[in-house]
Amino acid sequence: MQIYRQSSIQMNYKQQQGVTLVIGLALLLVLALISHSSAEIGLNNEKVAHNTKLILEAEQAALSANQQAFETTNYINEALRYIDEPQFDAWPEYDLDTRQTHQIATAKLSVSRVALKGYSLNSGQSVKQVLLEVDSTAEINNRVDRRVAQGWIRVGAN
């Protein structure tokens, strides 16, 4: 009896002819492709999140540079020295400390005389409003670059 069982088991192995192996390998291949695409999606999302973080850091550094430049009286006075020079384009530019080793921030101050809406000038009067602009840029890791321009108008300047 026992011999009969062994021979029938051997006969079943011969009849399968590797179909189970092929199906198993096909399922393994499908699982490998799914896991690979999941890993790719995860890596791409990580790169996008990192780049977004760098962009926000650069924008914050540029805004900080603007604020720092507007608070520094020497920078403003230096820019005001050139207000009456026509066609002047060599405005002073300053490197600012961002307290981060991987960030570089610079600010360029410029001034111009402007006339505000609703104000009229009599003959012989000069424009009494001064527009002070700071154009700052911040760069992170020599890759991400952001630029922020802000301005304030001071009324009553000659």
Hey, CA dihedral for 62, 67, 72, 77, is it positive or negative?
positive
Residue 150 and residue 67: Cα distance in Å, rounded? 9
Cβ atoms of 150 and 66 closer than 8 Å: yes
What tokens appear for 143 in the block?
A: 């890759």
Distance CA 141, CA 102 (A): 5
Tell me the CA distances in angstroms from 158 to 45, 49, 114, 130, 154, one per residue in order.
Answer: 55, 49, 11, 8, 10
Say what the pLDDT of residue 31 is: 96
Confidence at residue 138, expressed as pLDDT on a 0 to 100 scale: 81
pLDDT, residue 157, reads 46
pLDDT for the residue numbered 25: 94
In tens, the pLDDT along 114-136 reads 766 666 656 655 555 677 888 88
Write out the DSSP string of 57-100.
HHHHHHHHHHHHHHH-HHHHHHHHTTTTSTT-----EEEE--S-
Residue 44: predicted pLDDT: 94
Phi, psi of 103 (to 5 degrees): -115, 145
This prediction has a pTM of 0.61
* Angstrom distance (rounded) from CA 94 to CA 105: 9
pLDDT for 119 equals: 60
Q: How far apart are the first and last CA of the chain?
A: 118
| Residues ≥6 apart with Cβ < 8 Å to 30 | none
Stretches where the chain sits below pLDDT 50 are: 1, 157-158
